[in-house]
Amino acid sequence: MAVKKGSPNFQFNFADILFVVISAVAFIIAGAVSSSFIKFNKVIPTLLICSIYVAIALTYAFYRKGKVYKSGVKPSSEVSVVLTESVINSASPVIVCPEGVDKVVWMNKAAAEITGGKKLVKLSEMFSSSDGAIYTMGNRVFVKAVHSSYGSDDKHYNVYTMTDVTEREATEKMLRDKETVVAYVVVDNLEELLNYEQEDYRIASAETDRLLRQWANEAGGILKEYQQEKYIFLFEKQHLESFSKKGFEILDKIRNIRIGENSIPLTVSIGVSAVGADLFEKEKNARSAIDTALQRGGDQAVVKGDGTLDIYGGKTKMAQKRTKVKARAIANELVSHITSAENVIVMFHKFGDFDAIGSAVGVARLAMFCGVPVNIVTNPNDNGISKCYEWVSSLSDYEGVFVDSASALDLVNSGTLLIICDVCNKMQFESPALYDSCNNVVIIDHHRKTADFEKEPVITYIEPAASAASELVCEMLEQVLPSECLLPKEADLMLAGILLDTNQFTKNTGTRTFSAALYLRSVGADVGDVQEFFKTDLEEFQRELRFHSHVEIYKKVCAIATAIGECDIKDKIPAAKAANRLLTVEGVKASFAIVPIGDEVHISARSSGTINVQLILEQLKGGGHFDAAGARIDGVKVLEAEKMLKAAIDKYLDEAAKNKK
C-alpha cells in the first residue's frame, strides 16, 4: 500500500472501524433512552453523548496507531511477507533475545547454522569467544550490532545482527604481519676484542656475522652492515612475536662465541622498533631502542612498542672500556650547554649517598669554572650524607649552593639547565617536579636504564660499565678542567663515592676506575680523610646488627636479611652495609636486605658477580646494575615484600637454568 508524502503516519484497520461503529450505536441507544427522561429538548443530550464518544474513539485510534507504528508506516501484507522472508533467509545471522536475558527466543537460518540446529540456546554459548563487539565461531569472525527495545510496554526484545567480517579481519592481519620492522644490531665489546690477536678477532667476527645472517635469512629479512660490527635489520612484523617468545635466542648463540685465553664472550645489543607511522619514524625509534640497550649494559634486545618497552637478555656483566674518547666528547658538549645556560641546578636521587653528592659536587665545580650560577638540590633531613655537607660547607664557594626542592623550583626559568647525577629513573629523583619543570636536562649515571625518558635529555651519559657516577664526572673534569681548579675537599667527596660503589676497590673496578682515583689523588684527595666518611658510629653499628640476627639462605645461593622491629630512614645505610657483609658468607652469591620504612619497603641488593641482582629487582620496579641494585615497594608489608622478592629470585634462577640447558 503506497503512502503519499505528507500523509498521516498511521492507518485504520477493520477492528478499529468495527469498534467505532458498535460503540456509536450503543451510545445513541443510551442517549435516546436517557433523553426520554428529560422534558426539554431530547436531541441535545444525545448529540452531546455522541460527540464525547467520537472524541474518545478518535483519541484512542490516534494513540493506538502512533504507539504501534511510531517507527514508520505499517507495511501491507505483501511487504510484511517480503520483510519476513528477507530476515529469515538473510546471510547475516539475526538473533532475538528478551532484553536483559541471555536467552535466544528466535533466530534466522544463518544463526541456526552456527548453533548446529539448536533452537533455544544462550547467546553467550553461540560463539567460542568474544572481544567487545567482535565474536568468533570456528574460523569465522563476526561483528555484532544491537537494536534494542522492540516490543510492548511490559516486554522488550533485543535484535542482534551479526555481520561476517572474516575476510576483512584476515586482510587486516595479513597487512599487520607484512608491516616492516626496523632493528639495529651492534657488537658490544668490539673494542675489548681488538686488544687480542687479530686472528682471534677475525674468527670471532666472521662467526658472529654468519650467525646474524642466518638469523636474518630464517626470518626472510634484510641484514646490512653499515659500519664495522654495526647492522641494520629489516623484517616482517609477523616474525617479531616468534623472536620475543624465544627470548631473542640469537643473543645466547652469539654469547657462546668466546675469544682469548680468558674466554671472553662476544655479545651484541639489538634495538627494535615495532611502532611508527612510516619508516622514518620506525628508524628513529629503533635508534632510541639500541641506545637504551647499550645504556643498560649491552647483551640484550630492547623492543619499543606502542607505549611499551620490552627487554630481553642482559645476562652478562659489562666490561669497562679503556678509551676515554666518549668522555672527552661528552665533556665538551656539557661545557657548551653550561656556558649557554642562565643557571645550573644539580640533582641526584632520594636518600643520597657519597657517590651521589660526590658527582654533584664535581658537576657544580665545572659550572663554577664556566662562570654560571649553580645550586645543588638536597634534602636537609637526610642524615646519610650530613658529613659530606659539613665537609664542603666550610668552603666559601659553596655558600648558598645547597637548596631544598621547594627553593630549587623557584630558581627554574627558560634558561635553566638541570643536571641529574647517579640516577636515571624518575621515580628515584630527589624532586620529580623539578625534572618536569625544566626543558633542558642532562643525565649522568652508571645504573642501567630501565625505561624511556618522558622528554629527551640534551645529553644522556649512561655507562653501566663504570663503577660510579663520580668516576664518569672525574673523567670529564680531567678533560676540560685545569687540575688546580678542583679543590682537595671536592676530590675527597668524589673519591669517597668511588670507594663506596666499589666496596673499597674490591668489585666492579677496572683500569678507568683506578685512573679516576689516580687523578683525584693528583689534585689533593687524601685517603685518610676519605676513610673518615666510612667510620660507623655505635648507633649505626647496632642498626646493622639487627639485619644479621634474621637471615635466611634462600635457594642455597641467596641471603635475605630482614630488619627486626621499627625502622626509619637511618636504617638504609646499615642495610646496604649488611648486604655487602653477607656476601662474605660461604656459598652466598647474592644478598638482599629488606627495610620497612613507613608505608614503604626498601630492598638493597648486592652480588658477587655471578647473579644479576639488577634483573631481579627490575621485576619489583627497581633498578641498578649487575652487582648492586635497589628497589622500593609502596603499600606492602614486610612479609608480602619478602614473598615478592622470592618470586623474583625464582623467576630469575629458573630462566638462568633454562638458558644453561
pLDDT, tens only, 259-291: 766 677 788 999 999 888 889 999 999 998 998
| Residue-level pLDDT at 64 | 52
Task: Give 220's pLDDT tier (boundaries 50, 70, 90).
Answer: very high
The chain-wide mean pLDDT, for the chain, equals 82
Query: Tens digit of pLDDT for each residue in 511-543?
Result: 889 999 999 999 999 988 888 888 877 887 888
User: CA 477 to CA 471: how far, in whole Å?
Assistant: 10
Domain covering 325-533 in this structure, CATH number: 3.90.1640.10
Alpha carbon distances (Å) from 469 to 312, 359, 463, 472:
25, 6, 9, 5
**pLDDT tens-digit series, residues 391-424:** 888 899 999 999 999 999 999 999 999 999 999 8
- Which 8-state DSSP code applies to residue 75? P
Please state, as a whole number, how many other Cβ atoms lie within 10 Å of the Cβ of residue 299: 25
Average pLDDT (44-64) is: 58
What's the confidence (pLDDT) of residue 257? Answer: 84
* 489 vs 257, more confident: 489
570: which DSSP letter?
A: G
Confirm if 477 and 366 have CB atoms less than 8 A apart. Answer: yes
Kind of pairing between the strands at 140-151 and 156-164: antiparallel
Band of residue 465 on the pLDDT scale cut at 50, 70, 90 = confident
**CA gap 401, 397 in Å, rounded:** 8
Mean pLDDT of 30-52: 56
Task: Report CA 131 to chain centroid distance, whole Å.
Answer: 23
Q: In this predicted structure, what is the pLDDT of residue 9?
A: 42
- Please tell me whether the overall predicted TM-score, pTM, comes out greater than 0.85 for this model: no
Question: Quick count: other Cβ atoms within 10 Å of Cβ 132?
Answer: 7
pLDDT value, residue 417: 97
Closest CA to 95 of 1, 177, 160: 160
489 close to 397: Cβ distance less than 8 angstroms: no
pLDDT, average across residues 556-561: 94
pLDDT at position 8, please?
43
- Segment 474-481 shows an average pLDDT of 93
Residue 65 has pLDDT above 60, yes or no: no
The reported pLDDT for the residue numbered 318 is: 63
DSSP 138: T
Q: What is the pLDDT of residue 2?
A: 39
The per-residue pLDDT for range 169-188, each reduced to its tens digit, is: 778 878 888 899 999 999 88
Pairwise CA distance, residues 287 & 301, whole Å: 12
What is the spatial distance between Cα 218 and Cα 234, in angstroms, rounded to a whole number?
A: 12
Share of the chain above pLDDT 70, in %: 79
CATH superfamily placement of domain 77-172: PAS domain (3.30.450.20)
Amino acid, single-letter form, for residue 489: K
Q: Which residue has the cell 658468607?
A: 585
pLDDT digits (tens, 9 = 90+) for 563-586: 877 788 778 888 888 898 899 899
pLDDT of residue 45: 59
Supply the pLDDT for residue 34: 55
**Average pLDDT over every residue of 43-49:** 58
Which pLDDT band, with edges at 50, 70 and 90, does 226 fall under?
A: very high
**Closest of 514, 649, 535 to residue 591, by C-alpha:** 649
Please, are residues 579 and 605 in contact by the beta-carbon 8 Å criterion?
yes
Residue 43: HSE in the Cβ half-sphere, 13 Å Cα cutoff: 0
178-313 under CATH 3.30.70.270, yes or no: yes
Angle between helices 572-582 and 538-548 (to 10 degrees): 50
If one looks up domain 538-660 in CATH, what number appears? 3.10.310.30
Distance between CA atoms of 42 and 26, rounded to whole angstroms?
A: 17
Q: What is the mean pLDDT of residues 449-474?
A: 88
Residue type (1 letter), 358: G
CA neighbours within 13 Å on the CB side: how many for 566? 2
Q: Name the residue ranges covered by the structural domains of the chain.
A: 14-68, 77-172, 178-313, 325-533, 538-660
pLDDT of residue 422: 93
Residue 7, pLDDT above cutoff 50: no
pLDDT, average across residues 438-465: 88
Q: Residue 11: its pLDDT value, please?
A: 47
- Cα dihedral 288, 294, 297, 301 sign: positive
Q: pLDDT digits over 300-346, tens only?
A: 899 998 878 888 887 776 666 655 778 888 999 999 999 999 999 99
